[in-house]
Amino acid sequence: MTLELPFQRIPVIGERFWTMSLLFSMQALRALVMCLDFSVIKTYQGNTEKDAWDVRGRVTTKGTKQLAFRKGAAVFIVNERPNSPNFGIDGTSTISSTDSTCLYDVLPQYAVDTACNVCFEVEDVERAFRFLGKQGCVFLVPPTEVCDDKGLVTYSVVKSIVGNVHHTLIDKTKYDGCFLPGFQEVGNLMNDGIPTDKNTESCPISHFDHITYACPRLFTPKVVSWYERNFGFHRFFIESNEDVDEGYVVNQDGIGLRLTAMEYLKASETGTHLMFSDKKEPDCKFVIAESLPEHGSNQIETFLEQHRGPGIQHVGLYTEDIVSSAQTMAQAGVHFFCPPPAYYTGVAKQKEIEGAGHEPQVLSRNGILLDTDLRQTDLTCQATDTQSKRYLLQVFTKPIFREDTFFLELIERRGASGFGEGNIRALWKSVQVYMETERVVTQAENP
Ligand SMILES: O=C(O)C(=O)Cc1ccc(O)cc1
Ligand SMILES: [Fe+2]
């Protein structure tokens, strides 16, 4: 059976984008801006420099604000959260909670700060709408056109089956302006303490590497099949001997995690598989995380509780230089998870880090994890020592919202396309330690 692929491309680095729409408060907005070291572009050059923007904003007819931040090809759209006091660029906005003119998205009514939209660029919004409609998908916004003197954008919003996550499907090939209609240069956005003129080279994030969902137990197969049937995603194995049905299970040392990964291969239609290519192909990857039973309180269950349902747990941002990016973010006040102290002191890990050309002390100071990916799935080449050494470096921020929900990850891939088991364990343990500490502090504050 051939599956109709209604999408020309999902994320394509450089010229196309894959956006996230986040809904949150001013406090969390500050956290995001600090985290990612956005700079505000003060002059809008129009067509000639249509990519020359980092922060853009618009105000809907009812006064709701939307801000768009870009780092490389990664675009975050921040929607003002209704009924949130003191929110707004200037902190004085009066907010309508029922604003249906929130373009490129719906304005989600959600109880807590949340990242709830992943936008896919599609070839033909109308065709995608018809195809997905026949597949039984529920649309929140039917195909809708918006335009200004720079052209026309068509978009539509479809619900996913993962909690409050929805997908904006967008075609902006007929649009020549900067970002999207209605978005303007944002003036003194960060006029109270957040620097506006940063050297962005110090935080060279180029695109979204993956998005991880936190889901309830046994929900994963439904999610995978939904994305396979509707969006043409394919399973990929985090580990070569991973069980198709079980996924990648980490079930020891108090860790009880099931991970299942899928991707949309930009080149899948032509059969070109770019696995282990050193080119930074921005294939869209989703990871679904669920916890195993009998593991007590853990980060996935905490997410589900505090977020009030499944959703986006974290976003992996690809960086060319993880050390520089992490240092820049730390200087801006971002808090990262620290792996257990023993992580860097083992002789084997030290050798592994040095073998990859890094200094253990530097990685340790910045909480950066390193894993070697030993998979050899490219059957056309023999595994030699150098070919088999593919590295993955990762560092995770603490949750950026008030609740212990959404966080960001920096990832630098040196040929490794999957996720390192050592890193997954270290992340799990550091989050557990953080949650335990938080619980003790909270209990001490509210006995
Ligand atoms: O390693 C990664 O970046 C992942 O995305 C896998 C993952 C997902 C969820 C967890 O709670 C821990 C690890
Ligand atoms: Fe991740």
Over residues 51-65, the pLDDT tens digits come to: 445 677 777 766 667
Does the CB atom of residue 419 touch ligand 1 within 6 A?
A: yes
Least confident of 83-87, 186-190, 245-249, 438-442: 83-87
Looking at the CA of residue 299, tell me the nearest atom of ligand 1.
11
* Residue 33 scores a pLDDT above 70: no
- d(CA 221, ligand 1 centre) in Å: 18
One-letter amino acid at 183 equals: F
Ligand 1 contact, 428 CB (< 6 A)? yes
Q: What is the pLDDT of residue 388?
A: 57
What is the pLDDT, as a whole number, of residue 314? Answer: 93
Ligand 1 within 6 A of 299 CB?
Answer: yes
Flag the least confident range among 253-267, 276-290, 331-345. 276-290
Question: Is the per-residue pLDDT at 84 higher than 60?
Answer: no
Query: Measured between alpha carbons, how far is 316 from 211 in angstroms, rounded to an integer?
Result: 6
Return the ligand 1 atom nearest residue 210 CA: 5
Q: Are 272 and 240 in contact (CB under 8 A)?
A: no
Nearest to 407 by CA among 312, 323, 320: 312
Q: Given this model, what pLDDT does residue 303 score?
A: 95
Question: Which tokens go with 334?
Answer: 């971002």
**Cβ–Cβ under 8 Å, residues 289 and 214:** yes
pLDDT given for residue 306 in this prediction: 93
Is pLDDT of 396 > 80? yes
Which residue ranges form the domains of the chain, and what is each CATH number?
18-197 (3.10.180.10), 205-445 (3.10.180.10)
Output the CA angle 298-304-309, nearest 5 degrees. Answer: 170
pLDDT of residue 284: 76
Greater pLDDT, 253 or 150:
150
Mutation test residue for ligand 1: of 263, 287, 404, the one with most atoms within 8 Å of CB: 287
Ligand 1 atom index nearest CA of 423: 1
d(CA 327, CA 202) in angstroms, rounded, equals 9
Three-state SS for the chain is: CCCCCCCCCCCCCCCCCEEEEEEECHHHHHHHHHHHCCCCCCCCCHHHHCCCCCEEEEECCCCCEEEEEEECCEEEEEEECCCCCCCCCCCCCCCCCCCCCCCCCCCCCCCCCEEEEEEEECCCHHHHHHHHHHCCCCEEEEEEEEEECCEEEEEEEEECCCCCCEEEEEECCCECCCCCCCCEECCCCCCCCCCCCCCHHHCCEEEEEEEEEECCCCCHHHHHHHHHHHHCCEEECCCCCCECCCEEEEEECCEEEEEEEEEECCCHHHCCCCCCCCCCCCCEEEEEEEECCCCCCCHHHHHHHHHCCCEEEEEEEEECCHHHHHHHHHHCCCCECCCCHHHHCCHHHHHHHHHCCCCHHHHHHHCCEEEEECCCCCCCCCCCHHHHCEEEEEEEECCCCCCCCCEEEEEEEEECCCCCHHHHHHHHHHHHHHHHHHHHHHHHHCC
Per-residue pLDDT, averaged over 30-38, amounts to 60
Question: Which of 336, 391, 427, 435 most suits a substitution to test ligand 1, by most atoms within 8 Å of the C-beta?
Answer: 427
Residue of 211, 212, 302 best suited for mutating to test ligand 1, as the one with most atoms within 8 Å of CB = 212
Alpha-carbon distance of 333 to 106, in angstroms, equals 32
Decide: 424 in ligand 1 pocket, CB within 6 A.
yes
CA distance 18 to 101: 22
Question: Mutual orientation of helices 299-307 and 421-445 as an angle, nearest 10°?
Answer: 60
Is 291 or 401 the better-scoring residue by pLDDT? 291
pTM of the model: 0.84
Give pairs for 248-255: CB < 8 Å, separation 24+: 249/292, 250/421, 250/424, 250/425, 250/428, 251/292, 253/425, 253/429, 254/295, 254/429, 254/432, 255/295, 255/425, 255/428, 255/429
The verdict on the CB of residue 316 being under 6 Å from ligand 1 is: yes
ipTM: 0.98
Whether the CB of 412 sits within 6 Å of ligand 1: no
- Report the pLDDT value the prediction gives residue 9, as an integer from 0 to 100: 35
d(CA 24, CA 402): 10
Residue 258 alpha carbon to ligand 1 centre in Å: 10
What token pair was written down for 158?
A: 């479809």
Position 179, amino acid: F
Highest mean pLDDT among 187-191, 280-284, 401-405: 401-405
Taking all residues of the chain, what is their mean pLDDT, rounded to a whole number?
75
Contact yes or no for 298/216 (Cβ under 8 A)? no
The pLDDT value given to residue 56: 75
What ligand 1 atom has the least distance to the C-alpha of 396? 3
Residues 101-160: tens digit of each pLDDT: 556 666 556 778 888 888 888 878 898 899 899 999 999 899 999 999 999 999 898 999
Q: Please report the pLDDT score of residue 91 as a whole number.
A: 30
Q: Which residues pair with 135 in a beta bridge?
A: none
Lowest-pLDDT range, 91-100, 143-152, 294-303, 344-353?
91-100
Over residues 244-271, mean pLDDT = 80
Hey, which of 220, 314, 431 would you mutate to test ligand 1's pocket, going by the most ligand atoms within 8 Å of its Cβ? 314
pLDDT grade for 381, boundaries at 50, 70 and 90: very low
